[in-house]
Structure 1
Amino acid sequence: MTNIAIFGANGRMGKVLCEAALISTGTELAAAYVRDQHDLIGSQVQHFINQGKTDIAFSTEMVIADDVDVAIDFTLPEGMLAHLDFAVANNIPMVIGTTGLSEAQMQRLFEAAKHIPIVFARNFSVGVNLLLDLVQTAATKFGDDADIEIFEAHHRHKIDAPSGTALAIGEAIAEAKGWDHDQVAVYDRSQSEQAKSQKEIGYSVLRAGDIVGEHTAYFALMGERLELTHKASSRMTFARGAVRAAKWVQNKHPGFYSMREVLELGK
């Protein structure tokens, strides 16, 4: 049995993560953490979720329950880093889905992974991680003949753009092509007066309504076009993947892991 703690348990994603920990085989919800002094501290989690049954109450982030095996964090970067330090101090493995991290913040993850096992992914959907493999195959087989574009759509509340998943797709393509992603990524063509180069990856972003997540990689040639698309209709897709990663990482050695290892992709 894997006992899971959820940071940011009162958020949209946090509540779904609580549900996933409760309904998944071989896991239990051990703690549901919210910010210190939050109004929900002491309230029963059961009253705020749609699936699963639990007697756990929301509690402060600064008190790790004795039976926590793994902590999951999908909060904002600043909060996640504080949780990370706390997890290192208490020797608790982490599953991290926070996006919009800077280079310096990513370095903090790498340093922490010397002390605890960490699974980090910009998207924990099994389908999206399979998509990352597929776009690398397409990028390799098409050679330099295809124009490459990435489109992504999310709900109106999402802050980072392009999304972390869109960037992960672009980085996977760049890796397969032997390109430096930062040199070929194009986020804005409004000031460009040049035709598109075939050695670039263009990004387009939509923010609207309650779209959970949609990502498409386009490989366009003269006369044909390949579109590889993943659409998520529920946050539970990501939550189940994160819980799967939590079960996997429970007894691993310190290190920085991805969903490729969890799903045994590329073997």
Structure 2
Amino acid sequence: MSSITTRHFLQGAGMLLAGLLLAACGKQEPPAPAAGASAPAAAAPAPAKVYVVGTDAAYVPFESQNDKGEIVGFDIEIVKAVAQKAGIEVKFLNTPWEGIFNSLNQGDRDLLVSAITITAERKQTMDFSTPYFDAQQLIAVKKDSKIAKFNDLKKLKVGVQNGTTGDEVITKLQGKDSPNIKRFEATPLALKELEAGGVDAVVADNGVVEHYVNNNSGTQFKTIADASFAPEQYGLAVKKGNTELLEKLNKGLADIKADGTYDKIYAQYFGKAPAAAATAGTASAPAAAASPAK
């Protein structure tokens, strides 16, 4: 009797053990959520890329800082409008002119806007958008001045902004060692020196000179254009080969020119309609050689 009971016991234990092993090898289902429990939150989308824009905020009216330290100006409004059309976000960082191109090449800035002249030499190390502004040197003199053309400045005292195209052209005219070239950190400082009688003329980009003359009527200045000044065009600069960003910027520029946004911004800063070339976005021949200018 006892042997039969032991056998039955062993058989039953074996069957129980096999069942436990099969259960352990089976798929384990997660426990059902408790009634009323919310589902886990979906992963948050990755934040949109913010493109960092380098600009030398010391070139009124293109870029400068207001009393609150905000970067403002024609270039800034253009890029904001372009970014909105292109569906991208931008952030502006004040970047000294001396290192602005290195900041782009090293990846510290995604694009540059700083009244940058498109030149053949610069195109070798960076890519440019379609032009957004037509520039040319202008001569500013007092209204009673007898100066009529660029060559008249050969032996006169001339104010320029250090390291600009104006600096370059007057250096070629007078010679690099000329004591009559007066260099300033900003064009408005040179124009104030003209007002004070410290120089006979100032040579600088048309946009800067015209803005100053229009907003300082008491200075009694007049401006002189000269056929010897090569035409220039400004562009937005991106790192060489960044075609994705360049396409977005070009599309944005085309859109703001097509819907009148560009014209409104231009008139706000320069008091008149832009020239046809700038509004059409067609590039004229770039300057033959790069300069350290804007």
Q: Verify same fold: TM over 0.5.
A: no
TM bucket normalised to smaller: 0.3 to 0.5
More strand by share: 1
Higher relative CO (CA 8 A, sep ≥ 6), structure 1 or 2?
A: 2
TM-score, normalising length: structure 2 = 0.31
* Structure label with greater radius of gyration: 2
TM-score, normalising length: structure 1 = 0.34
More helix by share: 2
